[in-house]
Amino acid sequence: MKPLVLIPTLNEAYKLGSVLDGLLACKTPLDIVVVDAQSTDGTRELVARYTKKYPQIRLIDQEGETGYGGALKTGFRYALNKDYDPIITMDGDGSHGPEYIERFLEKTGEYDLVIGSRYIDGVRVEGWRFRKLLVSKLASMYVSYLLVKPIWDFTSGFRCYHRGILEEIDLDSLHNAAYIIQIQLLHYAYQHRRRVKEIPFVYRDTLDSVSKVGGDNKLRTFFYVLRYSAPVTEIFRHLVYLKKEYERFVEEYDDLINPPRLRKWKPRPDQKAFTVSVGVMAYNEEKIIERCIRALQAQKLGENKLEQIVVVSSGSTDDTNKIVRRLAEEDKRIQLIIQPRRMGKASAINEYLAIARGDIAMIESADTITEPDTIRELVAPFRDPGVGMCGVHPVPVNEDKSFVGYSVHKLWQLHHAMALDNPKCGEMVAFRNIVPRIPKYTAVDEAAIEGMLVQGGYKLAYAPKAILQNKGPENLRDFIKQRRRIASGHRHLAASMGHAVFTQKPTNILKYVIKDQKWTPKAILFTGLLIALEGYARFMGMIDFYLRDKNPFIWDISQSTKHMQT
């Protein structure tokens, strides 16, 4: 690291000396730049004395651009030209304690922007009257609700920037007003999907200091922030959290908008054989779990090798665990992980990913059955080093004479037709073992993995001959419950990770519906009803997501999908 501390000043002589002394006493060597806006109280002379004694301190005159924002831009340009990283901004009036610098530097390896927050984990302000504190807190809430970002203190100037953020921003486009530039910089950090972290610090107001932010500046900020406002639907969803657990919103947002970075992987263009780990996600699967595992054991793998079968039993209360233990005694490749309670499929998948050791990781639901060539066909596309993920061809075992049975078959037929043109992964997926974990609050785990790999520059593939038998809902209630959950989960994924699956746009599906349609009276009637039902499920999923805070990462089981006939 080559850290730089940037201090904009205007008549700070009464406290700046103690701030500089505190920075010089830091354990980590720091370079310090004071950008002065033509102070008349002796600030410049004070800094000049320090520069003679300490070569790591430099004084820069703020010329051309005015205001606090102009000082920051002047300092940022200097820092980028001199290859400093990270860049810490702080006030010179003693309100920002130098003792927190080391905590900033500890976080820079993991986060791109670290904010010293006055309001996270309680209010940490000394020296303010109640009215001033209340106005400041309400202002932060106002910005938070408009931008829909999990930040408690938007206007804090005590920050630590990774130089990469500043390199991505047109510094000339930044505002000169103090509050506005802080909000802009935070907005751009999220826009570029940078990792942001707030850490608490105690803001100590100096009683002899005078605010450099006038009333007109505050009013301008009130209206200026509207240009960064989130869509109205997102604002409504954010407000729902106020009635519940806001801390979960902060944690969920951070987890999903900043997914874990993919592990580095060196491609081998000539690789034809792969080791495979399969994670089987189970909840009360005593009636089918043995068939699922036996089918995996019977795979015709060709040159590939099945390294592991990891069963993650999440809160099972039947004989699932007992059956898996018996099978594990016969086959050392089988491992059982028990979660005492259901914490969501994503949580179970993360347990598996932590120990998966194959070249290719696969995820399968315990209520599905692979055919003998499924894994071999699923692995074949990975001979192309650019492929990151591949999906199977699910085939339902439901009878198709009833409306629900017809609908189940119709949806999976559409899935197959679309996947041939635009690979879509579901039910069982294979991906390069470079995903350390997935967001724990996602309800659409396959799509979340898909989003991570696509954002990482990898291609998706589809293996039409990799057949997977699955069981769809048998009654209307379970069918609607399943479609509604998926609709809500896809909205959650799009809002948080910025990744929309191909089928999220109804217009992408229409041509496949027409192409695949049988024009008998019964088929036309059932398809029309299915379209209406899908529209209803998507509408209710939207209501669940935006107005009811119902992200179904732990969902109600559709019991009729659990009984696959032999």
Q: Mean pLDDT per 10-residue run, the chain (566 residues)?
A: 90 90 92 90 92 92 82 92 93 89 88 88 70 75 79 87 90 84 87 85 68 60 78 72 61 66 80 92 92 95 94 92 95 94 86 94 92 95 93 87 86 83 83 89 76 88 92 83 77 62 69 79 87 86 67 48 51
Whole-angstrom distance, CA of residue 447 vs CA of residue 493: 8
Residue in the structure block whose two tokens are 């217009």: 507
Whole-angstrom distance, CA of residue 450 vs CA of residue 309: 22
How far CA 342 is from CA of 281, 338, 558, in Å, comes to 11, 10, 15
Whole-angstrom distance, CA of residue 533 vs CA of residue 376: 37
* Sign of torsion over alpha carbons 242, 248, 250, 256: negative
How far CA 152 is from CA of 74, 114, 119, 146, 244, in Å, comes to 27, 13, 6, 13, 17
Specify the pLDDT at position 493: 63
Terminal Cα-to-Cα distance of the chain (whole angstroms): 62
Whole-angstrom distance, CA of residue 146 vs CA of residue 386: 40
Q: Which of 329, 323, 333 is nearest to 290 (CA)?
A: 323
CA 80 to chain centre: 28
- Tell me if 362 sits within 8 A of 278, measured CB to CB: yes
Whole-angstrom distance, CA of residue 1 vs CA of residue 151: 26
Residue 473: count other Cβ atoms within 10 Å of its Cβ.
22
CB burial string 197-212: b at 16+ within 10 A, e below: bbbbbebebeeebeeb
Residue 267: count other Cβ atoms within 10 Å of its Cβ.
10
Helices (H), 258-335: 289-297, 320-330
Query: In which element (H, E) is residue 352 found?
Result: helix 345-353
User: Any idea what DSSP says for residue 512?
Assistant: H
**Residue 444: left (phi > 0), alpha (psi -120 to 50), or beta?**
beta
Whole-angstrom distance, CA of residue 368 vs CA of residue 280: 10
Specify the pLDDT at position 189: 87
Specify the pLDDT at position 332: 94
Strands (E), 297-352: 305-314, 334-339
User: Any idea what DSSP says for residue 231?
Assistant: P
Specify the pLDDT at position 264: 84
Residue in the structure block whose two tokens are 């993991």: 110
- Tell me if 381 sits within 8 A of 466, measured CB to CB: no
DSSP states of 364-425 as a string?
A: EETT-EE-TTHHHHHHGGGGSTTEEEEEEEEEE-S-SSSHHHHHHHHHHHHHHHHHHHS---
CB burial string 326-338: b at 16+ within 10 A, e below: ebbeeeebbbbbb
- Tell me if 68 sits within 8 A of 178, measured CB to CB: yes
Q: Which of 184, 12, 156 is nearest to 90 (CA)?
A: 156
Helices (H), 82-196: 101-107, 130-147, 163-168, 178-191
- Cis amide bond preceding 269, omega within 30: no
- Tell me if 147 sits within 8 A of 187, measured CB to CB: yes
* Sign of torsion over alpha carbons 46, 49, 54, 56: positive
Specify the pLDDT at position 147: 80
Q: Which of 363, 416, 424, 360 is nearest to 393 (CA)?
A: 416
User: Any idea what DSSP says for residue 109?
Assistant: T
Strand partners of residue 114: 160, 197
Q: Which of 260, 287, 425 is nearest to 350 (CA)?
A: 260
User: Has this prediction a pTM greater than 0.85?
Assistant: no
Helices (H), 200-319: 215-224, 232-240, 246-257, 289-297
Whole-angstrom distance, CA of residue 310 vs CA of residue 351: 10
Domains of the chain: 4-230 (3.90.550.10), 275-561 (3.90.550.10)
Residue in the structure block whose two tokens are 């993995």: 449
Tell me whether residue 173 is exposed, middle or buried, using C-beta atoms within 10 angstroms of its C-beta: 0 to 12, 13 to 18, 19 or more.
exposed
Whole-angstrom distance, CA of residue 100 vs CA of residue 27: 11
